[in-house]
Structure 1
Amino acid sequence: MNRKTLVLPAVVGLLAPVLAACGASGDGGDGKDAVVVGATDQFVASKDNPAPLDPAIGYEAGVWNVLRQTVQTLMHVPRGGGLPVPEAAEGCAFTDTQNESYRCKLRGGLEFADGKPVTADDVKYSMDRVIGIHAANGPVALLDNIDTVETKGEREVVFHLRTPDATFPYKLATPVAGIVPRSAYPAKSARTGFRVDGSGPYTMKAEVRHDKVVKIHFTRNPHYKGDLKVRNDKVELDLFPDAAAMGKAFDSKKIDMMARTMTPAQAQELLEEPESGVKLTEMPGLAIHYLGFDTKDPAVKDKAVRQAMAQVIDRGEIAGKVYGTTAEPLYSLIPSSIAGHTNSFYNKYGEPSTAKAAAILRSAGIRTPVKLTLHYTTDHFGVGTAAEFRALKKQFNDTGLFDVTVEGTPWEKFRPAQVRGDYAVYGMGWFPDFPDPDNFTAPFLDRNNFLNSPYKSALAQKTLIPQSRRETDRSAATKTFQRLQDVVATDVPVLPIWQGKQYVASREGLTGVEWAVNASADLQLWELAQDPR
């Protein structure tokens, strides 16, 4: 969202007793006067992931939504979107014309939640630690371009980059660049459990029941100094096993807001039959869903097979019949709401056509029907996933060119199997780390891509991605991103299906809802407040 896997439950570790404390101040909240937000993220312990809330390890949308409230970053994306602005820093800028040296000066008087000062050395330590641990499937790729981190006194830090990267300010606004105290986080190993220490707007405590986190209490950090305006003293993040349970709690007025993630049916019902005292807010959505391929697997090694699949898939049917108003067809890795988007797949394949797909396979000497298993996760991308894959199966099999079966697996087993290369074809989703076209292309095409895909494009890796990152004016990189999208449409290492919309339901009297979830699906709980009237 792993992050960056479009998430319903984000499976995370749990090695704590009933209440796992995070930060040094605040009692975690007793529910009194707290804003209560519902979510369906699941945080559970696992042998493979004992340190889910460590910024060097966690790469799930749900994990990042916890870290964003508690761990401070040098930069942040402002509430209305746009270019990153200083957060823990008082100012940051490239100091050369090649975008290879980036200097930040910290705000004066920054403190961690325990009152200890935040220094440039803490920033360097935090970045070096992520790079040194280099967690498999973690977020380290976002900092992979850092050559060295240099400090100048107590408040200045300089990042020397290996290659030009105009997107670097965005990367410093993500939790992987969160500033942590060296006293709490080992330099060469992950910090296990559920403690989080930082200098962000809140401290937090996790309430645990039957080895699962059921609620997270966020309390305003009195030592916080940054650019964010915190509009409440306490927020409770109430975690539910599914959207139905969350909806029941909302109907019973036990929570003030339903956030991640309402089902299409819940949103549709509120759209068609508005409820008194309830507000449904539609927000821009940048989430995408797609099929991924292990391009070394004999079943899909020949790109003609992948191209034929792209030729017959009916995105409109899947978006309309399975997801309704919460999704729309996607013909590129880059969503239509992001600058640089082009409908590369539609331009190449047009409307679904069995005849054209048959010609593609025939010219490549592929015998039909092509036998494939489409793998999906049963508990990570929402209740519509199973129906989506049934629809895909029918579409492929109805052509007579494919003999497709589908298989669902819980996320805890699905993700490791996908990374190992056990699946020839699999369904995944993506929430962007930041709203730039680079983050919809490089994570899939560059080295150390988060899918662990064997696919390589020399044109993408050696020419187009570096070229796009040289452009400080991101609009100047539009043609480069169009070429990247055309590469994907031709080689089909991934097959985009749909992009999502976001809906949030809130009770009357809760303000700031329109800012509480941004286009990247990041929770910004500091924006919420109860109307005193």
Structure 2
Amino acid sequence: MNRKTLVLPAVIGLLTPVLAACGGSGSGSNGGDAIVVGTTDGFTATKDAPAPLDPAYSYDVGGWNVLRQTVQTLMSQPKGEGDPVPDAAESCSFTDSGSERYACKLREGLKFSDGNAVTAADVKWSMERALRIKSDSGVFALLSNIDTIETQGDREIVFHLKSPDATFPYKLSTPVAGVLNPKDYDKDKLRDGFDVDGSGPYTFKADVQNDSMVTGTFTKNPNYKGSVTVNNDKVVLRSFKDADAMGAAIDKGDIDVMTRSMSPAQINKLDAGDDANVDLVEMSGLEIRYLGFNTDAPSVKSKAVRQAIAQIVDRAGLVSKVYGTQAEPLYSLVPASVTGHSNSFFNRYGDPSVAKAKDMLTAANITTPVKIALHYTTDHYGSATKEEFEVLKQQLNGSGLFDVSIEGTPWSTYQTAERKGAYDVYGMGWFPDFPDADNFLAPFLDKDNFLKSPYVNNKIINTLIPESRRTADRASASGSLTEIQNTVADDVPVLPLWQGKQYVAARDDITGVAYALNSSASLQLWELGRGSK
């Protein structure tokens, strides 16, 4: 292990002895200057997406990293691995044997940051609001299995589900299930701009220029009652245009912590221990990258074209050339470390083969070369994205079977264009809402999927997804989960490419860095503290 790099194991039980020598999250100071955290995530309000931080709309990792600090949920994901734990709730559990009735009791004395009491009626109002607004981001689908919400007094809430769902406690840990104050949010429309109010660990204020957030200031909420301990008084999140600008800022001491997305070159440099003042923390990650297909678009409407692309793409070559040891080839939407994973694409296609791809296209009477444009976002998934798509272009064009061009677009317009079906083939990433196989499948394949994909498989929607949710023992759901993954490999509505690791860099007087991200790539700013060098 490099002297500057702490590699965290995936199993939380192994963390304690490793962290003892590095300063645990409890060692941070509650005082001192604000801790400044850098990110390349952009936060922009546009005509098509005017409410980037409304829990009923936000459905990207950047927005959720703001909301998880500010808007409290009944349940929360622990700082390591494991099942969700109560946060706004004092306790939650299924009260029937069929996983269809879920009851929670709020903590006593729970308050919003303005001092007003949080009640069960507020919980019900907040979730029904998200379901009523039904924003085009598709985030409401996380709650769409709720049939009715019942309140009993000021502190008790009962969720009656349409069908059994053992993953429901995880869904209650996501920002769309956040508890909102009805005086701050309209019940029927989104809250435009960058104001956020809740009962979470921090209050929030954004510095906005030209409809984009430059910095966001998180101030410790004195009224917070929940499952986490806040180890600082203030954190400033600063948005950078690219990884190089963020790296220059940490070198100069303008920021204390660097999160997503660092470039592969930056990670390699820090891993080598070249900077005596900055430490790199490497964690196992569940981020995946994939190509999505508009299966109604003429260029890729034929399944044979999508299968031929799957047969040609060389994941190992792509990862080696662009990301090195910072990523691994992925042969399913479900990452290899998640229970229920199956190597369905490798089982279906084996090693890359131009000859097999040619046979597929010939059998379907497809004229070659097939002309296709691959679209990617220039500023959301890291500086290496363009290089990644150049490699994909080379691989496909090198087969002689495709005539591929690539086109990059800023995220502020890219995400809405994709949802409107503007792209035939497009690159996307997925940071899980929660670490379960269901969350790598249902958001892509179920009704109201967040991609707005025209691909529909009734067996997946009506039979396999419901079957897979019936049991809390996720290993026992492997039959349904494997069939879903095999179907995806055959129909190719999406093409998984790689699974990435997580990295955080911090100046060496910052403590708690090992827990700054959880397994779902969510920031946990409350873990950070300022110690001594």
Aligned to 1:6: none
**What amino acid is the match of 2:439?**
N
How far has the Cα of 1:418 moved from its partner? 1.5
**Alignment match, 1:253:** 253
1:227 corresponds to which residue? 227
User: 1:358 aligns to what?
Assistant: 358
Q: Which residue of 2 aligns with 1:176?
A: 176
Determine the structure 1 residue equivalent to 2:271: 271
Query: For residues 281 and 347 of structure 1, what CA distance do their matches in structure 2 show?
Result: 34
Asked whether the 8 Å contact 2:37–2:256 carries over to 1, the reply is: yes
Partner of 1:349: 349
Displacement of 1:212 after TM fit? 2.9
Select between 401-410 and 150-159 the one with higher mean Cα deviation.
401-410
d(CA) in 2 for partners of 1:79 and 1:411? 29
Residue 42 in structure 1 maps to residue 42 in structure 2: yes
Amino acid at match of 1:219: T
8 Å contact kept, 1:40–1:246: yes
- 1:136-176, Cα deviation, whole Å (9 max, x unpaired): 11410101111111100010001111111111000000100
Out of 412-421 and 397-406, give the one that drifted further.
412-421
Structure-1 residue corresponding to 2:437: 437
Report the TM-score, using the length of structure 1 for normalisation: 0.92
The one-letter code matched in structure 2 to 1:312 is I
The residue number in structure 2 matching 1:5 is: none
Name the aligned partner's letter for residue 407 of structure 1.
Answer: E
Report Cα offsets for 1:312-351 as digits up to 9, x if no partner.
Answer: 1000111111122221111110111111111111111111
What is the aligned partner in structure 2 of residue 340 from structure 1?
340
Q: How does 1:59-70 map to 2 (within 5 A)?
A: 59-70=59-70
- Residue type of the alignment partner of 2:247: G
2:463 aligned partner, one-letter code: T
2:488 and 2:500 map into 1 onto residues whose CA distance is 20
Supply the AA of the counterpart residue of 2:376: Y
- 8 A Cα contact 1:99 1:164, kept in partner: yes
Give the corresponding residue for 1:96: 96
**Structure-to-structure mapping, 1:263-302, within 5 angstroms:** 263-302=263-302
Unpaired stretches in structure 2, ≥5 consecutive residues: 1-30
Alignment of 1:391-410 (within 5 A): 391-410=391-410
The aligned length equals 503
Work out the CA distance in 2 between the residues paired with 1:190 and 1:418: 21
Superposition pairs of residues 512-527 of structure 1, within 5 angstroms = 512-527=512-527
Deviating beyond 6 angstroms after TM superposition, the runs of 4 or more aligned structure 1 residues are none
Secondary structure of the corresponding residue to residue 116 of structure 2: coil
Structure 1 position 93, deviation (Å) = 0.6
For 1:353 and 1:532, how far apart are their aligned partners in 2? 55
Equivalence for 2:192: 192
The range that moved more, 466-475 or 317-326, is 317-326
Which amino acid in 2 is paired with 1:183?
Answer: K
Q: Deviations over 1:466-493 (max 9, x none)?
A: 0000011112112221111111111111
Does the CA contact (< 8 Å) of 1:259 and 1:505 recur in 2? yes
What secondary structure is seen at the aligned counterpart in 2 of 1:328?
strand
Cα distance between partner residues in 1 of 2:162 and 2:182:
26
What whole-Å deviation, never above 9, does each CA across 1:293-326 have from its counterpart, x for those lacking one?
1111121111111111111100011111112222
Answer whether contact 2:41 2:240 (CA < 8 A) is retained. Answer: yes
1:125-140 residue pairs with structure 2 within 5 A? 125-140=125-140
Deviations, residues 194-236 of structure 1 (Å, cap 9, x unaligned): 2111110111111234543221111111101111111111111
CA distance, structure 2, for counterparts of residue 97 and residue 489 of structure 1: 34
Question: 1 CA distance for matches of 2:41 and 2:419?
Answer: 21
What residue number does 1:17 align with? none
- What secondary structure does 1:285 align onto? strand
Match of residue 51 from structure 1:
51
Q: CA deviation at 1:414?
A: 2.1
Aligned partners of 2:388 and 2:532: how far apart in 1? 44
Matches of 2:143 and 2:369, distance apart in 1: 44
Residues 1:377 and 2:396 aligned together: no
- The structural deviation recorded for 1:433 is 0.5
Check conservation: 1:283, 1:518, Cα contact below 8 A: no
What one-letter code is carried by the residue in structure 1 that aligns with 2:490? T
* 2:482 paired with 1:470: no
Equivalences for residues 146-185 of structure 1 within 5 A:
146-185=146-185
% identical aligned pairs: 59
- Other-structure match for 1:25: none
Segments of structure 1 that go 5 or more residues without pairing to the other structure are 1-30
TM-score by length of 2: 0.92
- Who is 1:501 aligned against? 501
Amino acid at match of 1:394: Q
